């Protein structure tokens, strides 16, 4: 394969408050639990049905971690872009290999947008310029030249 793409885009709600932890190197990491839902009408019964998927999200980008820590709470509606990553680890009790698949936001190709109310978007480039400490409406000012006719 001459090229490949590993990109995840999600719109969902936080199932819990973000978890912020400090790594061995002293930097913070944020962990999110994001729910995405799909609903439909059952053709045979006419009943409304819904299926919810839960996604583990890990944010290593320092600026985005600061934004998450300051502004996101359980129930927040967010849009995020990151990469899919699978980790292998050993279960301490059984000694068996376990796998965990997560969406990772790290580096320049990651972004997080807080939905609902004002348009508040922070990508890793903006966050690394230390704009994460600004109020929500000031964080998104750099995006003012973007086309407002995007259909989502």
* DSSP secondary structure of 33-101: EEEEEEEEE-TTT--EEEEEEEEEEEE--HHHHHHHHHH--TT-EEEEEEEEEEEEEE-TTT--EEEEE
Mean pLDDT of the chain: 81
Task: Quote the DSSP letter at residue 10.
Answer: E
Global model pTM greater than 0.75 = no
Query: Could you tell me the CA-to-CA distances from 11 to 4, 87, 90, 122 in Å, in that order?
Result: 23, 23, 31, 15
Decide if pLDDT at 27 tops 50.
Answer: yes
The H-or-E segment that residue 102 falls in is: strand 97-105
Half-sphere exposure in the Cβ direction for 132 (13 Å, CA): 22
Domain spanning 8-39+50-143: CATH superfamily:
Nucleic acid-binding proteins (2.40.50.140)
Of 141 and 73, the structure prediction assigns the larger pLDDT to: 73
Domain ranges, ordered by start, for the chain? 8-39+50-143
Strands 48-59 and 97-105: parallel
Q: What is the pLDDT of residue 36?
A: 96
Q: In the structure, what pLDDT confidence band is assigned to residue 4 with cuts at 50, 70 and 90?
A: very high
Q: What is the pLDDT of residue 16?
A: 96
Q: What percent of the chain has pLDDT over 70?
A: 76
Q: How far is the first Cα of the chain from the last one, in angstroms, to the nearest whole number?
A: 32
- What dihedral do alpha carbons 116, 118, 123, 127 form, nearest 10°? -120
Could you give the CA distance from residue 129 to residue 67 in angstroms, rounded to a whole number? 12
**67-78 tens-digit pLDDT:** 999 999 999 999
φ and ψ at residue 25, rounded to 5 degrees: -80, 0
Q: In the structure, what pLDDT confidence band is assigned to residue 148 with cuts at 50, 70 and 90?
A: very low
Q: What is the pLDDT of residue 123?
A: 57
């Amino acid at each position: 394969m001459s090229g490949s793409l590993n990109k995840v885009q999600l719109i969902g709600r936080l199932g819990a408050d973000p978890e912020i932890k400090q790594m061995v190197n002293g930097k913070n990491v944020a962990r999110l639990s994001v729910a995405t839902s799909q609903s439909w009408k059952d053709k045979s019964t006419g009943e409304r049905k819904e299926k919810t998927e839960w996604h583990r999200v890990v944010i290593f980008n320092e600026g985005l971690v600061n934004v998450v820590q300051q502004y996101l709470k359980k129930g927040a509606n967010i849009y995020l872009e990151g990469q899919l990553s699978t980790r292998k680890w050993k279960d301490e009790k059984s000694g068996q290999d376990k796998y965990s698949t997560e969406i990772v936001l790290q580096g320049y190709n990651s972004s997080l947008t807080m939905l609902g109310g004002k348009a508040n978007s922070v990508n890793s480039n903006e966050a690394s310029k230390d704009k994460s400490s600004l109020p929500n409406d000031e964080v998104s000012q750099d995006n003012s030249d973007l086309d407002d006719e995007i259909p989502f």
